[in-house]
Structures are given as C-alpha cells and as structure tokens.
Amino acid sequence: MVTRRSVAAKGGDVVLLVGTLKGAFFLRAPATRTAWAVEGPYLPGRAVYALAHDGREGRQRIWASAASMHWGAVLVSTDDWGRTWTEPPEANVKFPVESGLALKQIWQITPGRADEPDTLYCGVEPAALFRSTDGGKAWTVVRGLLDHPHRPRWTPGGGGLCLHTIVTDPVRADRMWVAISTGGVYRTDDGGRTWAARNVGIRAEFLPEKYPEFGQCVHKIVQPPRGKTLFLQNHWGLYRSDDGGDSWQDVARGVPSDFGFAMAAHPHDPDTVYVLPLESDQFRCPPEGKLRVYRTRSGGRTWEPLSRGLPQQRVYETVLRDAMTTDALDPVGVYFGTRNGKLFASNDGGGSWRLTVDSLPPVVCVRAVGTDDARGRRKTSPRSARR
C-alpha cells in the first residue's frame, strides 16, 4: 500500500478537497482561513472528478472517484486524511450485465441523510444513479431511473451523458432530485422506485421546442440546507423553484450572462446563492474578461458582482460545475478552482478574494470540510447553531 503525508487537521480547521485531472490535493487552514497548507497529489496521475466527505457517526472518511488502470472508474476512500487509500479489488460500481451498459465515469458522490448513516449515492456516465446501503462496500443501480421510458431519448452533453448532481431532501426521506446532461431534472418521491421529469419553465436553446418535457442541459442544482427553494444553473438560464421542482422561474436579471456551470448555496441563509457566469457556450470564459462571482441575497431577485481581489483584465478561466463550494463557518468561506489550475478563496462571504494556489492541474471539483476536532467531525457554525 502506498502511503503519503496526510493533512494534519486540527479542531476548528477547514480542509479543502480539490480534485484535478492529475490527482487530488488537500488544503488546510485554521478558522481564520488566511493561510493554507497544501498536501498532495493524492492518487497521483489519476483524474479525480468527484470527492465527498462522510462525517456521519464520527467518520473521517473521504471518497474519491479515480480511474484505475485495471478497472476503469472506481470509488476509493481514505480514513486518515489521505495517508492511505482503500482500493477495491475489482470494479465496485458497475452496471448489471443485462443492461448492456459500461461505466465510463463517476461524476458525483453524495452521502445519504444523517438518519441513514450507511447510505451513499453516486451519479455516473452513462446517466444512472447507484446506491450503497452498507457504507460503500456494495453498490446497486437504482432501477427506477435506469428503466425510465425517457432514457432512450436522453442525449449526451458536451461532457457526455452524465448524472452529475444529486440533491437529497432535508425533510422528506423518500424525495430526491437528480440532474442529467442532457436529460434535465428528475425527482423521486418514493425512494427511487419511480421518477418524474421536473423541467417546467426551463428552456433548451439548442432544441426546436424551447420548453420540452425533458432534454434540458442542466448544469447544477443546489438547495440551501435550511431552505425549501431549489436553485438551478442551466445551459443558458438561471432558475429557482419554490414547489420542489414542479415549476421553475427565471431569475437571471442582473447577471452579465446566464450561461455557466458552477453554483453554490450559502450554508445558513436560504436566500443567498453564488454563481460564476461565463460568456457563452462557444466562449466559456468570464464576460468582458473580468473574473467575477455573482451573489444573490434575495433569492434571485437581484445579483451583485464580487470581484475584489480577482483579476479584472484579459481573464480566460473556466470554472466547472463542481469547482465551487462554501464552508460552514460564519462568515462563510467561498472557494472555486479553474481549468487553468488556480484556486481562489474568500473568508468573508465573497467580499474579498485571494489566489490561494496558482499551479495545480486542471481543477474539476472543490469541497470544503470543517472539523470540530482531529477526528474530523463536521463543524457547526455559531449562526447555524442558533437556528
């Protein structure tokens, strides 16, 4: 077993999990988040498209999707902040033989609810949802979605036919949303047995029918932890839904472009969401050559640019759908990485930014983990504790 130096996480620290096309990197900072120590690469040379931290029941487990030379895309894990990794003896996420499908990539890893501590989900390409109920030892495909009658008419987006977003309902145990490129939004209300398209109001600029039942190229969905509203970044379009996805309303007024990939929710304020607009699907760089994060604090009614400390001239950066995240501190930290290997961080809710690392491989995902102690339990912010 190959061992590497682990992140020396201490109580109150924030750890950033950064997946790149050449491995994973872990960054650690104290609660001030003004100076970051960088460790890695972990899983060197392997594309890490998804990372997730599972802090339920005192775990400190980090999951990663990483390509294996023998098995293709697999899920691997570490319980010691990257010092050692558990590799499966064979492919641990695979389609049933009778489906005729072969796994290409694992795009998303999502722990289940706190009251189901051994349940995890992963979204894959070709688009499907897998579930584990034994802590990640065994994975089975969710047949209700795999056998959906719409499936033969889903088409690949630019990154392939991928299920890239999984949102679990914080109140209703049997409700979940997934986003498929290009299939759109689907919701289950019965634990995955049946699924229904939930795309009313979301347009598809690239199709003859602009508002089809399904076939939209949804890029990201987020739900603030303490809110009932969903927010969605589309391939052209910013939306919100107040009825569980039954309908969507355009909230793109006030942004320079409604095209983009990344979207992140504030951990405490249900009306605050961050996006990073790109000029267009043909030129996936910041509008006007200015790198700006846009924030709404009104649920999408208004947006404000956040640019202090970010480059504002001739910027050619691309930020992908999972490359923006927030932490759980107060004030909230906001982070994003670029295809050019830069990682930017804000420790004041986006009011100001610092270039934290500028020489990583292309960044494809960023996740933030808070610690209460060296065992890696998730930190609760003072504000969230009062709610």
Q: Which domains does the chain have, with CATH numbers?
A: 39-318 (2.130.10.10)
Contact in structure between 249 and 301 (CB atoms under 8 Å): no
Contact in structure between 162 and 107 (CB atoms under 8 Å): yes
CA 234 to the chain's CA centroid? 14
- In terms of pLDDT, which residue wins out, 4 or 118? 118
pLDDT at 374: 32
Q: How confident is the model at residue 69 (pLDDT cuts 50, 70, 90)?
A: confident
pLDDT at 2: 52
pLDDT at 171: 86
Instruction: Judge whether residue 296 has pLDDT over 50.
Output: yes
pLDDT at 306: 98
- In terms of pLDDT, which residue wins out, 15 or 158? 15
Q: What is the pTM of this model?
A: 0.93
- In terms of pLDDT, which residue wins out, 227 or 83? 83
The DSSP symbol for 157 reads B
Quickly list DSSP for 78-135.
ESSTTSS-BPPSS-SS---GGGT----EEEEEEE--TTSTT-EEEEEETTEEEEESSS
Mean pLDDT across the stretch 311-333?
97
Q: What are 22-54's pLDDT values in tens digits?
A: 999 999 999 999 999 999 999 999 999 999 999
pLDDT at 225: 82
Nearest residue to 129 via CA among 51, 195, 67, 189? 195
CA distance 39 to 28: 8
Helix locations, the chain, DSSP H: 143-146, 382-386
Q: How confident is the model at residue 6 (pLDDT cuts 50, 70, 90)?
A: confident
pLDDT at 68: 75
pLDDT at 384: 34
pLDDT at 381: 37
